[in-house]
Amino acid sequence: MTVPYARLSAIYFAYFAFVGAFAPYFSLYLKAVGASAWEIGVLISIMQLTRVFAPNFWAWVADHHGRRIALMRASLALAALSFCGIYATRSFWGIFVVLALLAFFSSAANPLLEATTFTALRGRLERYGAIRLWGSIGFIVAVLAVGAALDRLAIDNLLWMLLGVLALTAGLSWLLPGGGDPRPAERERIWLVLRRPEVLTLLCACFLMSLSHGPLFTFFSIYLTDLGYSKTAVGVLWSLGVIAEILVFLAAPRWFTRFDPRTILIASFVCAVARFLLIGWGAGNVALVTIAQILHAATFGSYHLAALALVNAWFTGARQVRGQALYLSLSFGAGGFLGGLASGALWGAVGPAWTFSASSVAAAAGLGVLLTRKSLLPPANPSAPVRSETL
């Protein structure tokens, strides 16, 4: 199978452009339509809750019946159709249903896209960063363009921007060639991998990392605008983090030949502890919040690449999609859901500084898991093909 670099890169660009338009600004839309801090926390976290089970459902279908690309096309089209419901309601429960449906269908795209990319690369993980960085570029373009636009336009215009980018992503999925899916895997074998101590250690640490990011994805934009930052400035600060992330993706081939995954993970968690303390207590200082956003290079960029390297080594062949789905659902799904829900409760009770301090504590707990169980994580170079049964 020839690697369709341009087409995969285009889908990553569009998919994460949607994330870049949604994540920083949809909470501002919710605030504008009268949602309380608790309601905002619930509505944003429902996206993550749905991702606890939805990716596994889609992965089960993909790994047992094949047709990954056909499933990606269908799920993205249904996600765009579901989001159209946002025009019909401003009530809490109406938005709740729309976001739940959006998350259910859109959650299929990421593990299917990741698994399709890894299959096309045939174990050449060092080349993943060159494709994935286009997702980061899409995020930056969207976050800057939407932020600048919302300084001049009413917040309701955000809905049209989101729908347009989501529809574009669905359209681009039809450019991928069909076929080439691995043969269906035996259903029970994935649990033999999942129950391994090293796999559980990684997933526990990943859960805590995503938990720590709950306040960031739910309230960071609101926090900055309340401190007097313009929406353009908010967009710039979000994009700074993603620019740093791109640099990590570009440097990944060199880093993965010099450092093992567990070293990269430990360093990433140390940076997360520092980042959330800086946001909580120094967001009013442009220099400090800039440093905090640059640390996104570690708290997502290097962390995500190291975690993916291990997941891709442990969950091989037709089990790839379910491995990706478990990683996404247990970390970004369960961790993100509880982090968003907790931030909604803490924000009004203890304030922004202590809410982000709680994020730092969660990251420190993940660091503790890695340090106490680091002997379980392999020090091998993840860019080389690794047979799952040897780990």
- Domains in the chain: boundaries: 5-390
- pLDDT confidence band for 274 (50 / 70 / 90): very high
Q: What is the mean pLDDT of residues 281-309?
A: 92
12 vs 357: CA distance, rounded Å: 32
Select from 20, 337, 255 the least CA-distant residue to 161.
Answer: 20
Which pLDDT score, from 0 to 100, does residue 63 have? Answer: 65
pLDDT tens, residue by residue, 124-172:
665 676 787 888 899 999 999 999 999 999 999 999 999 999 999 999 9
- pLDDT confidence band for 5 (50 / 70 / 90): confident
* Phi–psi pair at 155, nearest 5 degrees: -60, -25
Instruction: List Cβ neighbours of 267 (8 Å cut-off, separation of 6 or more).
Output: 298, 302
Residue 275 has pLDDT above 90, yes or no: yes
- pTM, two decimals, is 0.77
pLDDT averaged over every residue in the chain: 85
Amino acid at position 319, single letter: R
pLDDT tens, residue by residue, 187-242:
546 666 677 888 889 999 999 999 999 999 999 999 999 999 999 999 999 999 88
Residue 65 has pLDDT above 70, yes or no: no
Which pLDDT score, from 0 to 100, does residue 157 have? Answer: 95
> CA-CA-CA-CA torsion for 173, 174, 178, 180, nearest 10 degrees?
-20
Which pLDDT score, from 0 to 100, does residue 82 have? Answer: 95
Q: What is the CA radius of gyration of the chain?
A: 20
Token representation of residue 108: 């299929």
Q: What is the mean pLDDT of residues 307-328?
A: 75
pLDDT tens, residue by residue, 208-222:
999 999 999 999 999
Select from 233, 328, 223 the least CA-distant residue to 320.
Answer: 328
Which pLDDT score, from 0 to 100, does residue 384 have? Answer: 39
Instruction: List Cβ neighbours of 333 (8 Å cut-off, separation of 6 or more).
Output: 48, 49, 50, 51, 52, 53, 55, 107, 210
pLDDT tens, residue by residue, 109-120:
877 787 778 777
Which pLDDT score, from 0 to 100, does residue 387 have? Answer: 31
Q: What is the mean pLDDT of residues 262-271?
A: 93
116 vs 276: CA distance, rounded Å: 34
| pLDDT cut 70: percent of the chain above it | 86
Select from 362, 293, 43, 64 the least CA-distant residue to 186.
Answer: 64
Token representation of residue 241: 């983090």
Higher pLDDT, 125 or 50: 50
Q: What angle do CA 8, 11, 17 make, to 5 degrees?
A: 140
Which pLDDT score, from 0 to 100, does residue 261 have? Answer: 83
Most confident of 37-51, 328-342, 348-362: 348-362
Residue 391 has pLDDT above 60, yes or no: no
SS3 annotation, the chain: CCCCHHHHHHHHHHHHHHHHHHCCCHHHHHHHCCCCHHHHHHHHHHHHHHHHHHHHHHHHHHHHHCCHHHHHHHHHHHHHHHHHHHHHCCCHHHHHHHHHHHHHHHCCHHHHHHHHHHHHHCCCHHHHHHHHHHHHHHHHHHHHHHHHHHCCCCCCHHHHHHHHHHHHHHHHHHHCCCCCCCCCCCCCHHHHHHCCHHHHHHHHHHHHHHHHCHHHHHHHHHHHHHCCCCHHHHHHHHHHHHHHHHHHHHHHHHHHHHCCHHHHHHHHHHHHHHHHHHHHHHCCCHHHHHHHHHCHHHHHHHHHHHHHHHHHHHCCHHHHHHHHHHHHHHHHHHHHHHHHHHHHHHHHHHCHHHHHHHHHHHHHHHHHHHHHCHHHCCCCCCCCCCCHHHC
Residue 382 has pLDDT above 50, yes or no: no
Select from 220, 167, 163, 215 the least CA-distant residue to 24.
Answer: 220
Token representation of residue 318: 């037709």
Higher pLDDT, 241 or 186: 241
Higher pLDDT, 290 or 250: 290
> CA-CA-CA-CA torsion for 201, 203, 206, 212, nearest 10 degrees?
-90
- pLDDT confidence band for 282 (50 / 70 / 90): very high
- pLDDT confidence band for 14 (50 / 70 / 90): very high
Whose structure tokens read 């980042």?
275
Residue 338 has pLDDT above 50, yes or no: yes
- pLDDT confidence band for 122 (50 / 70 / 90): low
Higher pLDDT, 206 or 49: 206
- pLDDT confidence band for 121 (50 / 70 / 90): confident
Which pLDDT score, from 0 to 100, does residue 298 have? Answer: 92
Fold of 5-390: Growth Hormone; Chain: A; (1.20.1250)
The answer to which of 109-118, 178-187, 262-271, 272-281 has the lowest mean pLDDT is: 178-187
